[in-house]
Amino acid sequence: MSATATTHKVALSFEDGVTRFVNCKEGQSIADASYRSRINIPVDCSDGACGTCKAFCESGEYDGGSYIEDALSDDESEQGYLLACQAKPRSDMVVQIATTSAVAKTSAATHKGTVTALDRLSSSTVALTIEIQDRDKLAYLPGQYVNIAVPGTDDTRSYSFSSGPDDEALTFLIKITPGGVMSEYLDSRAKVGDDIELTGPHGSFFLRESDAPLLLLAGGTGLAPILAILRTLDAAESTRPMHLLYGATTDDDVVELDTVRALADSIDGLTWDYCVADENTSCPNQGYVTALIEESHLHDGDAAVYLCGPPPMVEAVRGFFSEQDYEPSGFYYEKFALAAKPDDEAGEKADPEPQAVEREDGPGTESSAGGTRVSAETEDGPVSETVVAIPSGDGSAEDMLTLGGREGRAINGREVLHVADLEPLYGTGRPESVGSENAAWRINGQMVFSALDQGEVTESSAGGTSIRTDLDPDDGLIVGAGRNILAQELLPVSELEPLTAPAAPGPETPAVTDDTVSDDGYVIGEEHPSIDKSDAIFDARRALELGALELTVGRLSNAQIAGYRLLAESTVPYVDVENERFTDAHGYTETNAAFHDYLFTLTRNEHLLRAYQALGVKGAMEETLRNAVWCHPSCAQDHLDIVDAFESGEKDVARQLISDHAERSKETMRRAMRDTRESRRPRFVTPGRFAGQVVLVTGAGQGIGERAARRIGAEDGTLVLADRADTVHDLASELGQDGCDALSVTADLETWEGAQAVVDAAIERYGRIDVAIHTVGGTIWAKPFEHYPPEQIQAEINRSLWPTMWCCRAVVPHMIERGGGTIVNVSSVATRGLNRLPYAAAKGGVNAITAALALEMAPHGVRVVATAPGGTDAPPRKTPRGPAPESEQEQDWYRTIVDQTTESSLLKRYGTLDEQASAITFLASEEASYITGTVLPVAGGDLG
C-alpha cells in the first residue's frame, strides 16, 4: 500500500489584502503549486537566478532550495525572504506576495499537445514540433513565445515559435546545452508521441502591420521568431522590401539555411546573408552581423528593424546605428539574459552566441542553469542593457569581450582598449537645482546631500544651457539596486567621472523612457523622438492594437464587449462633435487612455499592455492637449464603432477603424501643437531692441516671466533664465532652437544662496548683466486675514517678497561696478486687494524696494522700475503655487478676488500675458532710459 504524499496548505497574502490558498505537495515549490491553481504569482526564470519571485514568509517552515546570491542575499534569507520558484514547504505557511491579486489572476491559456517530430538540425540544435488538441483556440502573433513544460520535470522553458500563426503544427528551435533541463530531455528521453504542455502566448515582440521596409537580424536560435515573421509575410504575399542577416557562433550552430533559401525564393522582396564568428568557419562571411549592415538596408530611415538575439547583440547593433548616425523608423528586439546559477555537478557553461561585443546564450537556447527571457522594443532607437557573461580565461577574443567591469574593450574580436584600474578623478555629482537650504537635498525626509555655492555650467546641443551645483563627495554612499536588473548586478561600480556632462533636454532631443521591468521579469525599453518631432508613438499604438486585434476579435465574451462599450461611451461627453472641440481635454485624455488600455487587458497578455503603456501616449496627450480646444469630431465616435466591429466579429472593419483613429489622433495632436506654438509666439515684437544685452529673467519657467523672456529672445537679447522648476531648461532649449543664446538656471530664489548662485552663473558665462527682471511671486491662498495661520503668512512673504529682495541684492554690486544697468521688478495692484493681505503686504514691499533702491542707484547710473499687473489670463500653471480651493467657503473667497479684479478694471476684463510683457520690456529697454523709481500699473485702469 503506497504512502499518501504530505500536502501543506499555503496562504498567499497579496498587497491588496486578498488571500488565496493553494495545496502544495511535499517537494513542490510554492510557485509551481500556485500556477497549477491558476494563481499567477510573479515568476520568470524558475531557476533561482532572477529574484522576480521574491516573497516574504510570515509563518511556517520551508526548504529554501538553491539560488544565486544576486537573486536572494543571505541577509534577506535570514529576514524571512524566499524565492517562490525554489522554496518547498515543510509545514503550512503564510507568504506575502509582492503584487495584487488582480495581476495574479491574469492567466495565459495552457494547451495540451503531443510531440510529433524531433529533428536534429545540427550537433547543437534541435527542431521540436508539437501539435495541440485545441489549435483553433491558440492565437499568437509572429515573434511571440510560449512557456513549455519539460516532460518529466516541474520545470518550464521559454521558446519562440518558428512556425507561422496559421500553421497547424507548432515548431521551435532549441539549442542543446550540456546540463540543461530541456536539453537533457531532448537528448535522452524525448520521443514522438510524448505528451507536452505549453502556456501562452507571451511577449510584445511581434511583426507590426505596416508597409515599411524590414531589416531582420537573428542570432543563433534567435532565428526562430524571425522565421515565424517571414512565414507570415510569405503567406500574406507581402511585397515589402526586406533583408535578413543571420549570424551564429560556429558552423555547427548554423541551421535552417534551406528554409531561408526557400522563403527567399517565395518572397519577391527578401534578400539575405549570414555570417559565423568562428575564425575557422567555412562561411563566406566571418565575423558579426554588424559588419553586414549597409546603409541601404535602412532605406533612408524608413525601415523597421526586428532583432532577436542575446543582449550583447542588441548593444552591438545599437552602437553601430549610433556610430553611423542611422535612425530606423522602428526598432523591436527580443533577447535572453543568462540566468547564471551555480551548478557544481554540471561543471559546464552554455555555449555563447555571436554577433556582439559579448557572447551570450541566444533566444531559444538553454544553459545548464536555464535562461531568462528579456524582450524589448523601441519605436525610434535601441535601448541598451548589459548582461553578465562568463569569460573563458584563455585569452581569446571571446575572453576579451566579456564583462566583469571590463566590457566593451574589443570590437569584432580585436582588443582596442587595454584594462587600466584608474583612480577616480573626482567624487562628485550634480543635483537637480541650486541654492535650496534643505528641500532639494532630502529623500523621504533624509538629508543625503548639502548645497554648495558654486555650480557647474553645461550646454545643450540645442543651444540652451543649464547649471547644476556639485554634490559633496559620495564616499560612504551605498549604490545598490540601480546597478541591477531582476536582482542581478549588470554594471559593476566604477568611480570614473563622465567625460562630458549631460546636456539639458530640449524639444529635438529624443525622449527616452527607462526600461519597464514587469513583475515577471519582462523588460520593455522605449526610445522615441520628441512628440513635437514625430507621430511615432501613435503609429506604434496602432501597430500594437492591430496585434491585439488578431488575438481577441471573435473571442470576446458578451461581458467583455459590454465593458469595452462602457469605456467607449465614457469618452463621448468630452467631445463637442458639432463645434469640433473638446468640452474637457483632460477628461477625454483620461477616458481615452482607459479605453485603449482595455483592449490589451483582453489579450490576457500583460506584456502587450505594458508595451502600450511604455509608449507614453497618455503622458504625451496630457502635455500636448493641456490647453487644446479643437479635436477631430470623430475621435469619440471611433471608439463606439470599434466596439461594434468587435461585437460583430468584423476584423477587417475593426482594423480599418483602428488605423483611421490613429490618423485622427495624430491630426488632433498636430493641431494642438500648432495652436500652442502660435500662442507662445509674442504678439508684439520690436526687432533688435535688446541686441547686445544680457537680460536676467527670474520666474521664467511659466506665466509672465516666460512671456517676457520669449519677447526679449525675439528681440535679439541674450537670456539668463532662472526658476525653481525644471521647465526653465525646456524653455532655454526651445529658444536655443530659434537661435537665441539662453542660459537656464534652477534655483530657490527665496534664499540668498539661490539668488547669488544665479547672478554668479550669469557673470561667469557672459561677464555681465545689463537688465534684471524679477517676476517671482503670486498669491498662494485666498482667505480673509483672520483665517491665515502663521505658517501660511510666512509662506506668502517668502514667495512674493524675498525673491525680489535677494535678487536685487545679488545684482546691485555688479551693476554699481559696471556703472549702469536696469532692474525691473514685478509688483501687483493687489496691494489694495481683498482676501490676500499677506500677498498684498509682500507686493507693497516690492513697491518700497523699487522706490528706495531707485534713489540709491541713480548716482551709479542704474535705473530701478516696476510694473504692477492686474488680473492676467494665463494657461494653467505647470507648477501650481498651492492647493486649489476645495471647500465651498474657499471657492467663495477665491471668487471674491476674481470679482474684485474684474470690477476694479475700467476695461472690465483680464489682461493678457503679451500685454504684461509689453510693459515690462518697454521699461527694461533703452526707450525708457529717463524713467526710474516708477511703478507702472498694467491693470486696465486699476491703479491699485
Measure the CA–CA gap between 250 and 351, rounded to whole angstroms: 10
Q: Within 13 Å of residue 789, how many CA atoms lie on the same side as its CB? A: 2
- Reduced to 3 states (helix: H, G, I; strand: E, B; else coil), residue 354 is coil
Where is 312: in which H helix or E strand? Answer: helix 311-324
Question: Could you identify the residue written with the cell 532572477?
Answer: 50
pTM surpassing 0.85?
no
**How much is the pLDDT for 251?**
95
Alpha-carbon distance 547 to 558, whole Å?
21
d(CA 634, CA 881): 37
Residue 847 pLDDT:
96
Distance separating alpha carbons of residues 74 and 576, to the nearest angstrom: 61
Q: What are residue 196's DSSP bridge partners?
A: 113
Per-residue pLDDT tens digits for 248-274: 999 999 999 999 999 999 999 999 999
- Number of other CB atoms surrounding residue 449 within 10 Å: 17
Which pLDDT does position 557 carry in this prediction? 85
Q: In whole angstroms, what is the distance from residue 799 CA to residue 750 CA? A: 6
**Contact in structure between 102 and 19 (CB atoms under 8 Å):** no
Q: With CA atoms as reference, report the closest residue to 608 among 39, 918, 109, 202.
A: 202
- C-alpha span between 754 and 256 (Å, rounded): 66
Which pLDDT tens digit goes with each residue over 285-333?
999 999 999 989 988 888 999 999 877 888 888 888 888 888 787 888 8
Contacts of 201 (CB under 8 A, 6+ apart): 108, 138, 139, 140, 141, 144, 145, 146, 161, 551, 605
Q: How many CA atoms lie within 13 A of 697 on its CB side?
A: 31
The pLDDT value recorded for residue 546 is: 93
CA distance 148 to 370: 13
Location of C-alpha cell 534551406: 258
Confirm if 870 and 911 have CB atoms less than 8 A apart. yes
Domains, the chain, ordered by start: 7-104 (3.10.20.30), 110-415 (3.40.50.80), 531-678 (1.20.120.530), 681-938 (3.40.50.720)
DSSP lists the bridge partners of residue 104 as none
User: For the chain, which residues score pLDDT lower than 50?
Assistant: 1-4, 337-437, 439-445, 447-491, 494-529
Pairing of strands 771-774, 694-698: parallel
Cell numbers standing for residue 911: 489682461
- The pLDDT assigned to 57 comes to 92
